[in-house]
Amino acid sequence: MSVKSPYGGPVLVCGLGRFGAATAAALARLGYEVLAIDRDSKIVQDWSDRLAHVVEADTTDIDVLRELGCADFRVAVVGIATSIESSVLTCANLVDLRVDQVWSKAMSPAHGKILSRIGVHHVIYPEASTAERVARLVNGRMLDYMEFDDGFAIVKMRPPKETQGFTLAQSQIRKKYGVTVVGVKSAGEEFTYASPETLVSSHDVLIVSGHSELVERFASRP
């Protein structure tokens, strides 16, 4: 059974390079209907048995996209990495076709600036994002990290020693560090939303939210 995207209908993926193919495969695993397009016949053949709908076509030609019904898609992901020109032309075509949400990989800040100016809604820097995330996780206490555009972050982390054996009300984390413990996952138990009475142990995992600098400062506590 296929799943609709939050914007309704299937998802269009243009370019089956490493990023585009990984995105298409992940969407398919999650149950989304995907139409993937690539101009390389060998790549299309390789993916034809892994994706339900794979087409060999030139996405820089807006007439080709029209013939494929791409104007009816509300969400498109552009993963073209071999040519900035092809990436920009494809994105411009999708914007001209009035696709509601166009996501595109950018190979450099300059490339990303062009994509933003032609109307791409979401510009993605996969390598930079991965490097930034890894850099924040290597300190060992953070188990996962997600930062939003406004500097707000959500972190999964191990509890600092000063919080272990105390309730959240007793440790006064919000007052001392300006961050909020959203939830706690105890070993062998279900995730629970945090309350002032939540007791933190050394084996727990905390879900913490707040400004990225404050979250990082709290996560660096011994």
**Domain at 64, CATH number:** 3.40.50.720
The one-letter code for the residue type at 32 is Y
Instruction: Determine, yes or no, domain membership for 182.
Output: yes
| Cβ-Cβ contacts under 8 Å for 12 (sequence gap 6 or more) | 34, 35, 37, 70, 73, 75, 76, 77, 94, 99
Q: Where do we find the tokens 């939210």? A: 209
Residue numbers of the chain with a pLDDT score lower than 50: 1, 7
Q: At 203, which CATH number?
A: 3.30.70.1450
Q: How far apart are CA 101 and CA 119, in angstroms?
A: 10
Q: How far apart are CA 34 and CA 31, in angstroms?
A: 9
Q: What angle do CA 183, 162, 151 make, to 5 degrees?
A: 50
Domain range enclosing 108: 11-124
Could you give phi then psi for residue 162, rounded to 5 degrees?
A: -65, -15
User: Do both 94 and 172 map to the same domain?
Assistant: no
* Alpha-carbon distance values, 71 to 54, 66, 87, 150 (Å): 17, 6, 17, 32
User: Do both 120 and 138 map to the same domain?
Assistant: no
Q: What pLDDT was estimated at residue 146?
A: 81
User: Do both 25 and 90 map to the same domain?
Assistant: yes
Query: Mind listing the pLDDT tens digit for each residue in 24-44?
Result: 999 998 888 999 999 999 999
Instruction: Determine, yes or no, domain membership for 4.
Output: no
Q: What pLDDT was estimated at residue 189?
A: 85
Question: Looking at residue 33, what DSSP letter applies?
Answer: -
Provide the whole-model pTM.
Answer: 0.67
| Cβ-Cβ contacts under 8 Å for 178 (sequence gap 6 or more) | 210, 211, 214
Number of domains in the chain: 2
Q: What pLDDT was estimated at residue 1?
A: 44
Three-class SS state of 201: coil
> Which tokens hold the place of 201?
């142990």
Q: What pLDDT was estimated at residue 182?
A: 94
Asked which of 92, 124, 156 is the last residue of a domain, the reply is 124
User: Do both 106 and 120 map to the same domain?
Assistant: yes
Q: Are strands 75-78 and 53-56 parallel, antiparallel or unpaired?
A: unpaired
Question: Are 200 and 167 a contacting pair, CB within 8 Å?
Answer: yes
Asked which of 124, 158, 187 is the last residue of a domain, the reply is 124
